[in-house]
Amino acid sequence: MQYDYVVIGAGMGGLTVANFLAKYGKKVLVLEKHSIPGGLVTSFARRGVHFDLGILGLYELDEGQTIPQFLEFWGASQVPTRPLRGNLKCFIDGTEFDIEAGKVRESLLEQFPKNRDDVNRVLDIMHAINKEMHSGKEAPEPPYDMTLFQLVKFGMNAMRQRPMFMKYGNKDARRVLDSLTTCDELKTAVYSKAPYPMVFMAFAYQWSVYGESRYPVAGMQAIPDAAVESLRNQGGELKLNAEVAEILIGNGRACGVRTTDGSVYRGAVISNVSPQFTYEWIPDTVAAKARMKAAIARRRIFEPAAALFMALDESRYSLGDLESISIVSTRDYRMTTGEYRPDTAPICINVYPGIEGDEFRPLVAIIPISYEYHNFWETEAGRKRGQSYRALKQEVEATLLHRIEQHLGTGFTNALVHHELSTPLTFERYTYSKNGSFMGWSITQRDYGKFLRQRTDIDDLYLVGQWVFPGFGVAGVMASGYYLAKEILKSDGVDLKKDFAKFFA
C-alpha cells in the first residue's frame, strides 16, 4: 500500500503532523500498536473508573491556546472541558501546608510569615518568567535552522526581552531556589508541585498556570479522539493494533515500514516513537544507523516515575476541594530521582474530576523512582518481568500506600476500592518511550535546549514528538508536529506559518 507519509505511533505528536499533512492533501497513514490512540494521553478503565495515564489538566486546552487552535485549523470538533479549580495540600516532613486555588500568594504568605519577602520574590520571578515565555508574537524558528546571524540576533533579543528567563528560567531549580530563600520548607513546597530535577522555568510555568488548567469533560482520551476524527475527515487513515517492526530503506531513503504481522506500508516515514527504539528498526546494513545511535547514546533522559492508580469511594472518605496532595520530606528539593526509594520519594497525588458515570473518584499518585531502581525492578537489567518483578511491585505499592495512610489516615486506605502500580518499565513497554520517560530528554540546566532535529541522517525518515524540537508536554509535541509539517510542506510552496496566522486573523 502506497502513501505519501507513514507515521509510526498515534501519540499527540504523530497525530498532529498527520493532521497538518492530511489538510494539505497528503496521503497519510498512522500506524498505532495499541487498540486506542493517544500514547501518553490515553485513558483506561478499571472497576468502572476512568484513569488518565498521568496528566491532570492542561492550560493549553483553554480558549485560544494550542490544542483548541490546532483542532479548529484541522476542522475538528472541539473538546468540551471544565476548569480545575481545586486546592493543594502539602505535607512536608509531617507539617501540613494548604494552598488555596487562585490564592497562591496569600496562602504562602500566611503560612510562611517569617519569609514574606522570600515568598514575594519567588512568586514575582516565576510570574515574570512565565510572562516572558508567553510574550513572543509568533512561533520562533528551530535554533538549528537559524543562520549564525539569526542566532546572535535571537540571543541578543532574548537578553533584552526575556531578562528573568535568562537569569533564572534556564538554571537548575534547586540552584535558583537556594539563591532566593534560605527557608527549606518554602523551597520544598515550591518543588513539590513537580519534584524532578529541572530548569526553573518548568516550575515557573507550573505555578503560574495553576488554577487555570482545564480537564476534558470526557477525560484526556477525548483529545486524541478528536484528532483522529479530524484526520479521518481530512482523508487520513489510522490503523490500530499495527506495530511497526522494521523501517524499510531503498536507495538510501526511508521508503516504508513492515509491521509485526508482515504487512508492508510504503511511503516516507515519520516516527513518533523515541529515537532509541526507532533507530533499532533500521536495518544494520544502513551505514547511518551506527552514527545516529552513537549521536544520542550519551544523552541524558528525563527521570521517569512510577504511578499508583487509585479509585476512592467518596461516600466513605471525602477529599473535599483538593486537586492535589504532596507528601515530601524536607530535603527533597535537593535530591535526584536516582536517590529516591519508595520510603523517601515525594508522592504527588492528583485528584481527578472524573467523568460522568464513574462511581468512584480516580486518583493518580506520581512518584519519581528511577528506571534502574533495584536492579531494574528485579528484572535482570530490564529484560524480563517475572515473579520477582511482581513481588517488588507489590512491596513498593505497599510502602507507598502505608506512607499515604500515615498522612491521610486509615479511613482513606479503607475507602480505596482499587489500586494498581505502574513502573517506569510499564511506561516504556506501553509507548516504547526509552526508560519510560514522559518528557523525552532531561531538562536540567546541563541538558535543556539541546534540541534534536526532526530530520534524520536518512532521507525521508523524520522524528516527531517529545524527543525533538521543541520537546516535551502535550503542547510541545503538538508544536513538534506543526514544525515538521511546516518543513515538509515548504517544498510544495506552502507557508504553514502564514496560513495559520491568516486562518486566525
Among 181, 324, 433, 456, binds ligand FAD (CB under 6 A): 433
**Residue 472 near ligand FAD by CB under 6 A:** yes
At its nearest, how many Å lie between ligand FAD and the CB of residue 153?
A: 30
Phi-psi region at 398: left, alpha or beta (left = phi > 0; alpha = psi -120 to 50): alpha
**Residue 168 near ligand FAD by CB under 6 A:** no
* Beta carbons within 10 angstroms of residue 1's beta carbon: 13
Distance from C-alpha of 320 to C-alpha of 317, rounded to nearest angstrom: 9
Among 108, 244, 306, 319, binds ligand FAD (CB under 6 A): 244
Among 3, 5, 18, 33, binds ligand FAD (CB under 6 A): 33
**Residue 23 near ligand FAD by CB under 6 A:** no
Nearer to ligand FAD, 152 or 264 (CB): 264
Q: Which of 352, 257, 380 is nearest to 44 (CA)?
A: 352
Q: Which of 307, 302, 278, 227 is nearest to 472 (CA)?
A: 302
CA-derived radius of gyration, the chain? 23
Residue linked to cell 510504503: 266
**Residue 10 near ligand FAD by CB under 6 A:** yes
Among 4, 24, 27, 34, binds ligand FAD (CB under 6 A): 34
Helix (H) or strand (E) holding 500: helix 496-503
Distance from C-alpha of 168 to C-alpha of 114, rounded to nearest angstrom: 24
Counting Cβ atoms within 10 Å, is residue 315 exposed (0-12), middle (13-18) or buried (19+)? exposed
**Residue 228 near ligand FAD by CB under 6 A:** no
Stretch of residues binding ligand FAD (CB under 6 A), selected from 32-40, 160-168, 178-186, 290-298: 32-40
At its nearest, how many Å lie between ligand FAD and the CB of residue 376?
A: 19
**Residue 432 near ligand FAD by CB under 6 A:** yes
Distance from C-alpha of 233 to C-alpha of 228, rounded to nearest angstrom: 9
Stretch of residues binding ligand FAD (CB under 6 A), selected from 53-61, 105-113, 134-142, 382-390: 53-61
Is 361 strand, coil or helix?
A: strand
Among 111, 326, 442, 466, binds ligand FAD (CB under 6 A): 466
Stretch of residues binding ligand FAD (CB under 6 A), selected from 19-27, 161-169, 181-189, 429-437: 429-437
Nearer to ligand FAD, 311 or 367 (CB): 367
Is 301 strand, coil or helix?
A: strand
At its nearest, how many Å lie between ligand FAD and the CB of residue 183?
A: 26
Cβ neighbours for 2, distance < 8 A, ≥ 6 positions apart: 27, 266, 267
At its nearest, how many Å lie between ligand FAD and the CB of residue 15?
A: 8
Q: Within 436-465, which residues bind ligand FAD (CB under 6 A)? A: 438-439, 465
Among 4, 27, 54, 494, binds ligand FAD (CB under 6 A): 54
Q: Which of 44, 71, 13, 101 is nearest to 221 (CA)?
A: 44
Size of the site for ligand FAD (CB under 6 A): 37
Distance from C-alpha of 73 to C-alpha of 227, rounded to nearest angstrom: 11
Q: Grid coordinates representing 201? A: 522555568
Q: Grid coordinates representing 30? A: 498512522
Give the interface with ligand FAD as residue ranges (CB under 6 A): 8-14, 31-34, 39-41, 53-55, 58, 243-244, 272-273, 305, 307, 366, 431-433, 438-439, 465-466, 472-475, 477
